[in-house]
Amino acid sequence: MKRREVRWSDLLFFNSLRALALLIILVFISIFVFLYISSAETFNTIGWKFFILQDWSTNGGRFGALAFIYGTVLSSLIAILLATPVSVGSALFLTEIGPRVLRRPVQMLIELLAAIPSVVYGLWAIFVLAPFVKDHIQPVLRGMTPGLELFQGPPFGLGLFTSGLVLAIMITPTITAICVEVFRSIPLIYREGAKALGATTWETIRLAVLGPGLAGIFSAVILGLGRAMGETMAVTMVIGNRADISASLFSPAATMSSVIANEYGEASAGLHLSSLSAIGLTLLLVSMVVNGFARVVIWRVTRGAR
Amino acid sequence: MKIGQYININLAVTTLVGLIALMLSLRVLAATPVLLNGAGSTFVEPIYTKWFTEYQKIDSEVTVNYQGIGSGGGIRQLIQGTIDFGASDAPMTAEEEKSAKLPVIHLPMVMGAVVISYNLKVDKPIKLTGPLVADIFSGKITKWNDAKIAKVNAAMKLPDLAIVVATRSDGSGTTAVFSDYLAKVSPEWQGKAGKNVDWFKGSLGAKGNAGVTGLIQQTEGAVGYVELIYALENKLPYALIQNKKGEFIDASSRSVTAAAGGKVVDEMVKHQFKISITDSDAKGAYPISSFSWMLVFDGMDKDKGSKLLKLARWTMSDKAQALASDINYAQLPKALREKVLSQIDKVKTH
């Protein structure tokens, strides 16, 4: 009788955990299904060409996602390129080089940065970052690379580059915090071994910290990338919101999340609404592809390390 | 002890029954409250909130729950039948009206306007004509000292500065009113008006009145369009616009109300109030003026319908309209309010 009771509670526990796990999958599937159903009209009328059409005209009834995919990918790429060296560097400083007294306060400050709401970042970016880019960064970059289309463009202070910059600042705390954990988890004995072999501090870090921590750094960067791609508010405030693909990093652009935030509230025509849902679906798919790609890379890197 | 327990239980039960009876009787004594749900335009949210709180003092049975989710969202919810009334800064399209279950009646409530704000170091407001505004917002005039602008502002020294055009990136009634005006003053803009507009390449988009204002304040030489109330509250400079009569008009609640005067009243009645009044030919009218409408169903159920219509009648009173002008909305002209009242009387409930 007693044994039976134990089995019952075990079964209950097991099944309730299974239900909870299934719930998460169910939520994911229902989001997918919702987006698919609500974007059906777009895929029926425009078809797969939706992904490669650049034109987005609510008056003309022409809808294409390419300009937004471009904006999302490029602004996230800028963010990752700027944030990764800074984050890995500060994580190394916090775990390997910096004086012990500094570590805790600096780490707390970094964690505080991660807690700032994105709309605050956006406001700061409009009033501080954008004028700074306009007056100090853009003229310098333009002066250094005459004729290079990439750094030409109108002197607004708003656009892809500024949104990449604000995204970089927003994801730096995330990447740094994970890198710190990764580096801390590497056994001390690696470093002692390297030192014992006569390695300098730089060589020790390269061999005993960065080497074994590579997979961890990678997943930190991917998490940062995920946040950068989905970030809406701060980007919407500084990207300039034009569905254009331009060679210049300083011209206004738009991202997938910014166009949804901008237009969903007032969209009433069928195809427009449906195309916004289709963009949501695209964003979900792009995030899944990026995450999948990152998993493969991590898997290969760790297998190589062993 | 057992008896004591019994008494205790008995007491508890009696108290409970008594309380329930008391609550029930209180419910019967108070008249049944009516909850009206509305949603739509963010532009009217401040005045609607003010009106509905004020109206509770007159009729305590009516509670109104209004959500400013945007005109488009309000129309969407009205069509789906999830709300009792909508509010929109642009009239519904014929297609939208067709997809609603019941005929929709448009009732103008208050008026607003869109102003052209700019960042220029000039000592008095700049003057613009309709075609000039259209050319600036199509990217055709690119410098502030362009001969066409200088001709209208003869007494003013205009800087040799590039014009940076700031627009609304989010779909909005403000954009709808402004582009409707552009379509009336420039043949090129015809058929391109709406809540979302394809602005020319090289113009900037910002979210909300606040975003556009931020852009203008950040950039010397910038020009953009914002709601009049927002401009007044934030003390932004804005241009005088030439109206159909040839007068250069400063936007104010007076000049906006004037835009709905004269022949406009008869026009409104003829079109069941569903017309735009941008580029009005009334005297002293500010040309980029607009209505905000309350959208109600013809044939609502009696309980809610009669309360809602009574409330709508009240908003046409001098007192309610004065409340609106207290917070910078433009009142409806008296002649028009009479017509709206007779329209309300025609709405049926059952």
pLDDT in tens, B95-122: 889 989 899 999 999 999 999 999 999 8
CA distance, residue A100 to nearest chain B CA (Å): 43
- The reply to whether B72 and B178 lie within a common domain is no
Q: In chain B, what are the helix, strand and coil shares in percent, each to the nearest 5? A: 45, 20, 35
Give the residue carrying structure tokens 């690696």. Answer: A190
pLDDT of B12 reads 60
Question: Is residue B27 pLDDT above 70, yes or no?
Answer: no
Choose the mutation target among B99, B196, B216, B223 for the interface with A, i.e. most A CBs under 10 Å. B196
Of B201, B202, B205, the CB nearest to A241: B205
Q: What does the alpha-carbon distance between residue B229 and residue B218 come to, in Å, rounded to a whole number? A: 21
Angstroms from B262 CA to nearest CA on chain A: 32
Mean pLDDT of B268-287: 90
In a domain, B149, yes or no: yes
Establish if B15 belongs to a structural domain: no
Best mutation target, B195, B203, B209, B220, to test chain A (most A CBs within 10 A): B195
In a domain, B14, yes or no: no
Domain-terminating residue out of B216, B236, B270? B270
B31 pLDDT tier (thresholds 50, 70, 90): low
Domain co-membership, B86 together with B119: no
Q: Is residue B284 part of a domain?
A: no
pLDDT in tens, B167-184: 999 888 899 999 999 999
Residues B158 and B72 in one domain: no
Closest Cα in chain A, distance from residue B146 (Å): 19
What pLDDT sits at residue A293?
A: 82
Domains along chain A with CATH numbers: 68-259+301-305 (1.10.3720.10)
**Shortest CA gap B170–chain A (Å):** 4
> Among B173, B192, B206, whose Cβ lies nearest the Cβ of A59?
B192
Asked if residue B157 and residue B74 are part of one domain, the reply reads: no
CATH number assigned to the domain comprising residue B185: 3.40.190.10
Kindly state whether residues B91 and B179 are assigned to the same domain.
Answer: no
Length of chain B (residues): 350
Please report whether residue B11 resides in a domain: no
The Cα A195–Cα A200 span in angstroms is 7
Domain boundary among B220, B238, B270: B270
Mean pLDDT rounded to a whole number for chain A: 88
pLDDT of residue B316: 95
Q: Which phi and psi angles does B274 have, rounded to 5°?
A: -95, 50
What is the model's pLDDT at position A203?
92
Is residue B176 within 8 A of residue B193, CB to CB? The reply is: yes
Judge if B254 and B138 occupy the same domain. yes
DSSP letter for each residue of A129-140: IHHHIIIIIHHH
Buried-state track A249-276, b at ≥16 Cβ within 10 A, e below 16: bbbbbbbbbbbbbbbbbbbbbebbbbbb
Assess whether B217 and B80 both reside in one domain.
no
Do B69 and B119 fall into the same domain? no
* In chain A, residues 133-192 whose CB comes closer than 8 Å to chain B: 154, 156-158
Residue B81 has pLDDT above 50, yes or no: yes
pLDDT of B337 > 80? The answer is yes
pLDDT, position B1: 43
pLDDT of residue A220 exceeding 50, the answer is yes
**Are B100 and B136 in the same domain?**
no
Same domain, B144 and B171: yes
If asked whether residues B68 and B149 sit together in one domain, one would say no
* Alpha-carbon dihedral sign for residues B95, B99, B103, B105: negative
Q: Which residues of chain A from 220 to 259 reach within 8 Å of chain B, CB to CB? A: 236-237, 240-242, 244, 251-252, 254, 258
Based on the structure, what is the number of domains in chain B? Answer: 2
Nearest by CB to B170, which of A57, A244, A262? A262
Q: Do the domain assignments include residue B56?
A: yes
Compute the distance between CA of residue A34 and CA of residue A277 in angstroms, rounded to an integer.
Answer: 9
Look at residue B18 in the predicted model and tell me its pLDDT: 59
Does the residue B301 lie in any domain? Answer: yes
Residue-wise pLDDT for A243-290, tens only, equals: 888 888 888 999 999 999 988 877 767 888 899 999 999 999 988 888
On whether any CB of chain B is under 8 Å from the CB of A84, the answer is: no
Burial of A25 (0-12, 13-18, 19+ CB in 10 A): exposed
Reported ipTM: the value is 0.76
Residues of B in contact with A254 (CB under 8 A): 169, 205
B97 & B210 share domain: no
Answer whether residue B281 is part of any domain.
no
Residue pair A117/A134 in contact by the 8 Å Cβ criterion: no
Global model pTM greater than 0.90: no
Domain of B36? 30-110+292-346
What rounded mean pLDDT belongs to chain B?
88
